[in-house]
Structure 1
Amino acid sequence: MSFTRWLSHRLGLSLRPTKARPARRTFRPRLEYLEDRCVPSTLHVARADDSLTEGGTLRWAVARAQSGDTIDFIGDAGRNGVTLTQGELILTQQNLTIEAATGQPPVTISGDNLSRIFEVAGGASVTLSDLAITGGNGVANPTDNPQYGAGGGVLVDGGASLNVTDCSFTGNTAPFGGAIDLFEGTLTVSNSTLSGNSAFDGGAIYNFYGNATLSDSTLSGNAAVDSGGFNADPAGFGGGLDNEGNVAVQISGTTFSGNSAFNDGGAIFNGGFGTNGLLGKVTLDNGTDLSDNSAFSGGGVANFGMTLTVNDSTVDHNSANTGGGLYNGGTLTVSASRLSSNSATQYGGGVFNSRILTISDSTLTDNTAGGPAGTFGGGGAVANFFGMLTVNGSTLSGNSAGFSGGGIFNFLGTAIVAATSLSDSTGYVGGGIMNYLGTLTVSDGCTLTGNAAFVGGGVYNYFGTTTISDSVLSHNSASSTTNAGGGLYNFGGTATVEDSSQIIDNSAPGGALGADVLNHGTLYQDLSSIIGILDGNPAVPI
């Protein structure tokens, strides 16, 4: 017995049993592999030349940049910019930013009219900030490349993303997309200016099946020009922006001014017909302005086969052969907007429609179509050819047409005009509205006042079907000294006046027939409605 146990026994203490100490584990040092990691860094461009092997050039920085890096400009490059002499720069990184140094003015990058400046490769994502992109030439690509000639300033490949902020694109050229070509990628442009660029299609931007957002920017003085037979392309579409295919485009607070197209869409062209109907959606809103643009069709916008929405926007002083402000061959909705002082040499000074057009809560003023009175042209505010037109809660005033429909010309289409004012418009036939072999409904408190024509001061119904319901036609005038129809002239068609409508206080020269209504067709009138002076065939009570 140990002394400790003997002493514990003598003192009457019990000892806690002692546990055996476990064997010590052996540590064996070894290497463990981690995933690749890189720390975002900033590469400074200090030289204005274009060497690949010499440090400090833009080409050198692009070759060494990794995803997440920033390239900025200092020294000579920051002051004088960079001119490329060895072709475009291909960007393959993700989250790469190329920008002017903090607090410095925009840096100019020039292609010297020899090559495109940037190509954003598929899968890459790039931000360009505070740069001036100029002198880019997209024709430098090999002719066997499917994107030959795309993007004078920048080409965005399929699956790539480009964010442009506080930049300018000037004097760039290419067959497609003078400044930018978006090929099935994603583009965001904000607080930027694209001016003086040119292409066969998409003077500033060509968008092929891509998603684009433009905000608080200006596209001015860009041109889509005649191709002269280049690549068998008819060309000349979309002076500012050409959208093709199933695109998604949002344009907000942006100005398109002074752009031109040899064919269609002075500011914007939309081409979206597919085998199953319409393709693509384009929205203009939040103070977007289209002014002083020109084209053969659609001085402001030509929309074919897409869904176009124009909301809270202005379309002013644009010109075209047809559709001075807007040309619609798809689905167009205009709301809370103003269309004024647009002109067409043929039809649709404000809007030409051949498919589906809805106008609500908008103002159409001082638009013109055609030549001098009595010559040609129709639809000072709106021309509807074979389409479906709805105008609701709007004001049409001071519009004029050389021949048909100073306010609205409905040609073999369906037109519904509700809760709308048509005033002070002029045409040779139908100062307010001309309905030619179509179906016209004027209802829900419409007023037609102060309109003037040679015949049919308010409405001229030519072999069509016209219904006037709960509306007033007054103080309109016709100047013919024989057959006038100051308020309504029904020639060979069917007209119905119902639901407390009034056609009164209109005028025609002394001795002329139909100061208020001249009926040379079939006229129905219910007991609640009032017709002042009626000449021609009597009304049939209903």
Structure 2
Amino acid sequence: MVSARSSNLWGGVAIFLVVLLIGGSAVVGDTIYVDDDGPADFNNIQAAISDANDGDTVLVADGTHTGPGNRDIDFLGKAITVRSSNPEDPCIVAATIIDCNGSQEDQHRGFYFQNGEDANSVISGLTITNGFYGAWGGGIFCWSASPTIANCTFTGNWSGDGGAINNYYYSSPNITNCTFTDNSADNWSGAVHNQEYSNPNLTNCTFTNNGGALVGGAMGNWYSNPTLINCTFNGNFASYGAMHNYYSNPTIIDCTFSNNPAIQGGAMFNAGSSPTLTNCTFTGNSSDHHGGAIHNAAYCSPILTNCTFTGNSADEWGGGMYNTGDSNAILTDCIFSGNSAGDWGGAICNIGCDPILTNCTLTKNVADSGSAAIHNIDCNLTLTNCILWQNIPQELYIFSSATAVINYSDVQGWISGPGETGNINANPRFAHPGYWHPNGTPDDANDDFWVSGDYHLKSQGGRYDPTTQSWVYDDVTSPCIDAGDPMSPIGAEPFPNGGVVNIGAYGATEEASKSYFGKPPCEIIVAGDVNGDCVVDFLDFRLMALHWCESIPAEPTVNYQVGECTGRSDSKTLLKTEPTRFSVEVRGSHIHFEDIIPGNCCPDKLELQMTLEDDLIIIFEDEYLNSPCRCTCSYPTSATSGPFDDGTYSLDVYKREFVGEQAVSTVPVGSTTVTIGMDDE
């Protein structure tokens, strides 16, 4: 695969042509001191900013800064830093206060970025409080600006949309190590609101007790794709989700959502959105109606990997998750335990959708007597390599209008039927199963609470213990080890792994329990011992035969060039959807692709990438952005790719936007079919 932005090809190899932002050597500037009751250069922040030059630092003394010049602060487009005396010291941050002193009658916010500021415009180590702004952003408002906001605390701010921060129209700030507490909004987003193609990066941020908003107690995303890493959402409240996504596709990694209540979707409510969640935890979230943790309302395709849902509840449907209206969730290596629903689906309720679960574990979830852990109506459910065990009152409910394809799974009470393969009904032997604590009233289940467990599989060959972060040995071995689909990849399973993936949430991961063959693991790995039983025999040959000649096909190379920007426009409007505009021509065993890619005039780089999956060719038109400008461009692009084997291929084209290395949006451009080497004689 070749990926580059180039206006020339040398020897058939694409050459990078990177569009650099304005920059160069770092500027070391002056330090300007602000203190309203002591010796300093200025007695208010705005005066210091007005005097500053790019590269300068405005150092704000400890104390409370309020009144004119210390609120509604404008950076004036300058690449400067405004900070406390020590942004790394929480005590200093708490003592360096921007008090907006706003009210309904006298509205003020902390900062206003409106002059194209980028990551070189920095706020660090301040507490911003008592902002009150009826429209957007009680604490900070960014209009087509992407500053850096680090080590700040936002508390007690209010706005119509975005109680603490509102990012509007291509505003993508970097927000790091910030705390959002007790902020509120009337409409959208108690703490942070991202609107109109704003894709901020939030890292190590904490959202606590924000709310009052109709949608998004902590965060709302409207046609925006933020990236969140290692953030915590606790006790935020709204009608629709602590996080609300409307036609937005956030990327969420290593985040925790706990004790967030809502009318719909306690932790998250998605409409027309497809977030990607990895290594996230949902605990104790609740909904008055549907989706105790997540509610996928319509046309959502969320992708969840290695996520845990524990102790969430819905008064009606979907204690952990509710999917409806063609919302086709894809879940891999996920755990649902101890979730509850007043009516349908203690763990998951699916209505009118086609969810896919692979290597998931669902146990001791509770629903109404007529339902199950997974409740399905008018949908097509696919389960592979999953465990459903000790759910109340049963594991699955399949309404007559629904179908379920279940293979290589451990389902309590399962009776095999036609077309089903590899299913078992056996105690999975979890390391330490969670349980419902009676709370001193064994006859009253209403006050029971959930005690979390450990769902690694017991093994005499070795089980990973997350508490000690070591491998331990049990006196029994789970029947789910090496019982998955033999054609599923074993992924990162440690050796010995039997050559077959485990059933359950840790299958195909580096924490998968090891295989046991009646004796201690091999001290020396023998060449040809595929399954790890210390012997090279027919079982190894069987595994090799099963995968004989199986390989990851080499992808055809792609050489391409991207022309310089044409058709420059100062319009502030980018196309929300893009018509099919590309052309494809077959040239022998190669294809020639041409397109005119719309994009921002200030990308870091543009790339063209291609993947081949069986008979599907996918071309990605990738744009990397950090600080976009306010105009759009058209980039003429051509590519020649191949060689391809003879056959008919589907060809899909997508436009992707990246911030750093994270894809923050993917928009389909169009599709066609291509036939190679099969012309009639």
TM superposition score normalised by structure 1: 0.67
SS of the residue corresponding to residue 316 of structure 2 reads strand
Residues 1:270 and 2:245 are matched in the alignment: yes
Task: Using the TM superposition, give the Cα deviation of residue 80 of structure 1 relative to its aligned residue in structure 2, in angstroms.
Answer: 1.5
Among 47, 51, 55, which residue is 1:64 paired with?
51
**SS of alignment partner, residue 199 of structure 1:** strand
The correspondence of residues 363-512 of structure 1 with structure 2, limited to 5 A, is 363-370=335-342, 377-427=343-393, 431-449=394-412, 468-473=420-425
Q: Which residue of 2 aligns with 1:164?
A: 149
Question: Deviation string for 1:151-207 (max 9, x for gaps)?
Answer: 00000012x112111111001000110000000211211111111100021000010
Q: 1:439 to 1:411 in 2, by over 3 A?
A: closer
Distance 2:123 2:290 in 1: 38
User: What is residue 191 of structure 2 aligned with on the other side?
Assistant: 204
Tell me the secondary structure at the aligned position of residue 356 of structure 1. Answer: coil
| SS state at 1:214 partner | strand
**1:394-423 deviations in whole A, cap 9, x for unaligned?**
100000111443210011111011110001
Q: What residue number does 2:14 align with?
A: none
Distance in 1 (CA, whole Å) between partners of 2:418 and 2:263 is: 32
Partner of 2:333: 361
Query: What amino acid sits opposite 1:79 in the alignment?
Result: D
- Contact 1:204–1:240 (CA under 8 A) maintained in structure 2: yes
Asked if 1 retains the 8 angstrom alpha-carbon contact of 2:33 and 2:42, the reply is: no
Check the 8 A contact 1:345/1:369 in 2, yes or no. Answer: yes
1:354-376, CA deviations, whole angstroms, 9 ceiling, x for partnerless residues? 21101111111001011xxxxxx
User: Contact (CA 8 Å) 2:46, 2:74: kept in 1 or not?
Assistant: no
* Alignment pair present for 1:317 and 2:284: yes
Aligned residue for 2:201? Answer: 213
* Residue from 187, 194, 197 that aligns with 2:180: 194
Residues 137 and 458 of structure 1: is their aligned pair in 2 closer, same or farther, counting only changes over 3 Å?
A: farther
Which letter maps to 1:324?
G
> 1:458 touches 1:473 (CA, 8 Å); kept in 2?
yes
Q: Which residue of structure 2 aligns with residue 83 of structure 1?
A: 66
CA distance in 2, matches of 1:102, 1:67: 21
Check whether the contact 2:81–2:124 (CA below 8 A) recurs between aligned residues.
yes
| Paired residues of 1:341 and 1:367 also in contact (CA < 8 A) | yes
Which structure carries more strand by proportion? 1
CA distance in 1, matches of 2:160, 2:148: 22
Offset of residue 442 of structure 1:
4.3
Aligned-partner SS, 1:59: helix
Distance 1:102 1:396, change over 3 A: closer
Q: Distance in 2 between matches of 1:224 and 1:437?
A: 41
Q: Which residue of 2 aligns with 1:118?
A: 111
**Residues 458 and 426 (structure 1 numbering): CA distance in 2 closer, same or farther, change over 3 Å?**
farther
Q: Which of 281, 287, 291 is the aligned partner of 2:258?
A: 291
Q: Say if 2:210 is the partner of 1:222.
A: yes
User: Which residue number in structure 2 is paired with residue 99 of structure 1?
Assistant: 83
Deviation for aligned residue 1:425:
0.6
1:475-533: CA deviation from partner (whole Å, max 9, x where unpaired): 8xxxxxxxxxxxxxxxxxxxxxxx9xxxxxxxxxxxxxxxxxxxxxxxxxxxxxxxxxx
Counterpart contact for 2:266–2:285, Cα < 8 Å = yes
Contact 1:94 1:123 in 2 (8 A): no
1: CA distance, partners of 2:142 / 2:379 = 42
SS of alignment partner, residue 173 of structure 2: strand
Shift of 1:438: 3.5
1:519 aligns with: none
- Structure 1 residue 85: Cα displacement: 4.3
- 1:467 Cα offset (Å): 5.7
Per-residue CA deviations over 1:51-76 (Å, capped at 9, x if unaligned) read xxx94321321222233321112xxx
User: For 1:296 and 1:458, how far apart are their aligned partners in 2?
Assistant: 35
The change in CA–CA distance for 1:259 and 1:469 in structure 2 (over 3 A counts) is same
User: Do the aligned partners of 1:48 and 1:82 also contact (CA within 8 Å) in 2?
Assistant: no
**Shift in Å, 1:323:** 0.5
**Using the alignment, how far apart are the partners of 2:310 and 2:54 within structure 1?**
49
Distance 1:84 1:445 in 2: 67
Given the alignment of the two structures, is residue 138 of structure 1 paired with residue 133 of structure 2, yes or no?
Answer: yes
Work out the percentage of aligned pairs sharing the same amino acid: 26
What is the one-letter code of the residue matched to 1:472? I
CA positional deviation for 1:439: 3.5
Alpha-carbon contact 2:414-2:424 (below 8 Å) kept:
no
**Cα distance in 2, alignment partners of residues 466 and 324 from structure 1:** 35
* Contact kept in structure 2, 1:338 and 1:363, CA below 8 Å: yes
- Once the two structures are TM-superposed, the CA of residue 48 in structure 1 deviates from its matched residue by 5.6
Q: Is the Cα–Cα contact under 8 Å of residues 211 and 249 in structure 1 kept in the other structure?
A: yes
Task: Note the C-alpha offset of 1:444.
Answer: 2.9
Q: Secondary structure at the match of 1:323?
A: coil
Taking structure 1 as reference, are residues 172 and 467 closer, same or farther at Cα in structure 2, changes over 3 Å only? farther
Q: What value does the CA root-mean-square deviation take over the aligned residues?
A: 2.4
Partner Cα distance (2:270, 2:111) in 1: 30
- Could you say what secondary structure the match of 1:93 adopts? coil
Aligned partner letter, 1:322: H
Q: Does 1:326 align with 2:294?
A: yes
Unaligned runs of 5+ in 2: 1-26, 428-484, 486-681
The equivalent residue for 1:233 is none
Query: Is residue 343 from structure 1 mapped to residue 313 from structure 2 by the alignment?
Result: yes
Distance 2:358 2:278 in 1: 14
Q: Paired residue for 1:253, among 211, 230, 251?
A: 230
1:164 aligned counterpart, secondary structure: strand
Q: Which has the higher contact order (CA 8 A, sep 6+)?
A: 2
Alignment CA distance shift 1:162-1:404 (3 Å): farther
Counterpart contact for 1:133–1:170, Cα < 8 Å:
yes
Q: Quote how far apart the aligned CAs of 1:281 are.
A: 1.9
Partner of 1:240: 218
Instruction: Report the TM-score when normalising by structure 2.
Output: 0.53
Say if 2:97 is the partner of 1:108: yes
User: What amino acid sits opposite 2:423 in the alignment?
Assistant: S
